[in-house]
Structure 1
Amino acid sequence: MLKRLTALAVGSVLLTGSAFAQETTIKFTLGWKTQGSDAAFFYAKDKGYFKEEGLNVVIDQGEGSGATVTRIMSGAWDAGFGDVNAIIQNSSTRPQDAPVMVYMMWNQPPFSIVTKNTSGIKTIKDFEGHTLGGAQGTPTTRLLPVFIQKNGLAADKIKVTNMAPNLQEPMLIKGDIDAALVFNITSYFNLVLNRQDPEKDYKWFSFGEFGLDLYSNGVMVSQKLLASNPKAVAGLVRAINKANIAVAKDQNAGMASVVAFDNLVDVPVEKRRLQYSFDKLMVSPEMKEIGVGDIKDDRMTRAIGMVVEGYDLKRVPTPKEVFSREFLPARGDRELVYTAN
């Protein structure tokens, strides 16, 4: 009897080990430090959605949404959340290495110019004669010449001062610059953390409303993972989509998963950031038409053209090089309904 129990125990261990060995590990990098707007990734892990797909997803904090692309290209990460415009840039120069976006989340661009209501800047024409502060190399700063050209502004009348990203809001608050070239979802909450009221006391000019109808952040994967394990890519997308739809309905549940991942986050601020990501970046007429996660090819073609112009790129990537809808769940499974709660 003892021998039989021992044999059963050994068999159980072997089966468990076999099942565990079948899990595919995916190293996933966030766009930045732990934030509420990343709740879907933490929720998918916390609720076992990744595990249901046979995936062991290891989530690491990031260094910027553009850096997600270079991290994946280094081979140290398999997937991540980052900026599609950085994919376009790298796909132009290194098409064999650039990752591919497989699930678009922020289909509205966060690239914005923010100014104090007291600055005297009421319209974009008023940028002329004023000083804008920008972090060198960021999409908002790099794409400013395209913004200026598309809106018929005089470039020689707009001064741009380069500065570190963490100095933009403090210098704007002090009045050292008249406006800042920012990511709205970052700058808005930097102002909140600096005890400012970004709604009442500041004016925001979104690039998307002034001729630069660009896409932004989503889930991207390496070409290596695409080629070697498309089943894992499909599972990753299914799990994140399922979590994203759940968090849209219940942000408190999403924030519980954020805290489970990192209990040092400022919950009230990060919950507001999560809701801001739905309000400003994700929920749009296009998303309601085609479902969360997808894009429109003609819009992506125009966006690629703007990025090629802004970054002075020599080769124009095709939309298929930049985005693949091959792994998206059916349209009926991508119906996101957002309710703030």
Structure 2
Amino acid sequence: MLPVKFVLNWKFQSVQSGFFVAADRGYFADEGIDITIDQGNGSSAAVKNVASGAYDAGFGDINALIRIAAETPAEAPIGVYMIYNQPPFVIVTKSGSGITKPADLIGKTLGAPASDAAYKMFPAFAKLAGIDASKVSWSHMKPALREQMLMRGEVDAVSGYNTTIWFGAKGMGVDPKKDLTFISFADHGMDIYSNSVVVSQKLYKDHPDKVAGLVRAINKGFMDVLADPELAVTSLKKRAPLAKDDIERDRFKTVFDLLVFSDEMKKIGLGAIDPVRMKRSIGIVVDAFNLSATPDISQVFDTKFLPPQETRLVN
């Protein structure tokens, strides 16, 4: 058995249940993998933890991986199984604010934590949307205060992950569907990928058979959950007994509807990428962060470990 340390994107949540089910049902063990799954502190942090060698694999932001591949390619993890096919980056305003499109942001004050990925991507979004980023002001706050400051009117809009803001607002008693307006980066040319399973260079080079096994096990786990979504809650509660069933059911459905179940994914299957789109999204990230090099797709993602397409297709 090969010990594999795996880091998640965040605290234990229903959306990660495919990993839990793969562990609980012995799918990793069947592949000769002794898996340890740890909670994470963000999608970018997960990728950095794999790059540093602290973890062998993880679930994190492919865009953070692209940055590492451009700057320190020898350390860059490799994406092997794409899960969040759609980007979660959004600008959110209160309904009735008069802000419904990127041009409406000119002269306004936006809020975001300084580490927010959508905030960091904003200059590239502005360029693609045809607006002058220098004419938008920013105010920074702690992540926990983002939705509060928006609802109190202390900022005109906020940036972040659609799912994070959605559930943050719900937790305050706000109905995001009715009370908030979402401007998606993806709707304005920023058609990039998001969270993927990534593996370290060491695991990739030294144990390619185990990488294939890891991907097979994860695919089985997620397909099981999609066939029986209640597993999303039951597998989570083995690890987070205080999780609220209704919130986690809602989270699983919302995240998968927004970030996973795209037309592209339904065509090519869970885990796969469209190489043309990936090449374009690498270019967008390189442009957004003024990176000194443009990584090749082979430095970012390797599809050779994917199980057959028919085992990854979702109705």
**TM-score normalised by L of structure 2:** 0.97
Aligned-pair CA distance for 1:143:
1.1
What SS does the aligned partner of 1:33 have?
coil
Give the conservation status (yes or no) of the 8 Å contact 1:84–1:101.
yes
What SS does the aligned partner of 2:160 have?
strand
What SS does the aligned partner of 1:28 have?
strand
Residues 136-285 of structure 1: pairs in structure 2 closer than 5 A: 136-285=114-263
The CA distance in 2 between the partners of 1:175 and 1:47, in whole Å, is 48
Bigger shift: residues 130-139 or 77-86: 130-139
| Structure 1 equivalent of residue 274 of structure 2 | 296
The CA distance in 2 between the partners of 1:301 and 1:223, in whole Å, is 21
Partner of residue 103 from structure 1, selected from 81, 91, 103: 81
| Structure 2 equivalent of residue 34 of structure 1 | 12
| Structure 2 equivalent of residue 321 of structure 1 | 299
Give the conservation status (yes or no) of the 8 Å contact 1:292–1:336.
yes
The CA distance in 2 between the partners of 1:186 and 1:75, in whole Å, is 28
The CA distance in 1 between the partners of 2:133 and 2:186, in whole Å, is 19
Aligned-pair CA distance for 1:156:
3.3
The CA distance in 1 between the partners of 2:26 and 2:42, in whole Å, is 27
| Structure 1 equivalent of residue 97 of structure 2 | 119
- Pairing 1:86–2:67 present: no
Which residue identity is paired with 2:111?
G
The CA distance in 1 between the partners of 2:307 and 2:138, in whole Å, is 44
**Mind listing any 5+ residue stretches in structure 1 that lack a counterpart?**
1-22
- Pairing 1:48–2:48 present: no
The CA distance in 1 between the partners of 2:243 and 2:224, in whole Å, is 21
Percent of aligned pairs sharing the same letter: 43
Which residue identity is paired with 1:243?
G
Aligned-pair CA distance for 1:138:
2.6
The CA distance in 2 between the partners of 1:134 and 1:253, in whole Å, is 34
Aligned-pair CA distance for 1:110:
0.4
Which residue identity is paired with 2:182?
W
- Pairing 1:63–2:41 present: yes
The CA distance in 1 between the partners of 2:130 and 2:136, in whole Å, is 12
Which residue identity is paired with 2:290?
D
Which stretches of structure 1, 4 residues or more, deviate above 6 A after TM superposition? Answer: none
Kindly name which structure, 1 or 2, has the bigger radius of gyration based on alpha carbons: 1
The CA distance in 2 between the partners of 1:156 and 1:92, in whole Å, is 26
Q: Deviations over 1:190-231 (max 9, x none)?
A: 111111111111111111111100000010000100111111
How many residue pairs align between the two structures?
A: 315
Aligned-pair CA distance for 1:262:
1.6
Give the conservation status (yes or no) of the 8 Å contact 1:34–1:265.
no
The CA distance in 1 between the partners of 2:114 and 2:287, in whole Å, is 17
The CA distance in 2 between the partners of 1:46 and 1:300, in whole Å, is 33
Give the conservation status (yes or no) of the 8 Å contact 2:102–2:126.
no
Aligned alpha-carbon RMSD (Å): 1.1
Q: Deviations over 1:54-93 (max 9, x none)?
A: 2111010001000011111221110000000000001101
Which residue identity is paired with 2:183?
F
Bigger shift: residues 153-162 or 267-276: 153-162
Give the conservation status (yes or no) of the 8 Å contact 2:62–2:194.
yes
The CA distance in 1 between the partners of 2:308 and 2:133, in whole Å, is 46
The CA distance in 1 between the partners of 2:132 and 2:8, in whole Å, is 38
**Mind listing any 5+ residue stretches in structure 2 that lack a counterpart?**
none
The CA distance in 2 between the partners of 1:29 and 1:217, in whole Å, is 13
Give the conservation status (yes or no) of the 8 Å contact 2:122–2:133.
no
Which residue identity is paired with 2:248?
E
The CA distance in 1 between the partners of 2:241 and 2:115, in whole Å, is 32
The CA distance in 2 between the partners of 1:156 and 1:91, in whole Å, is 29
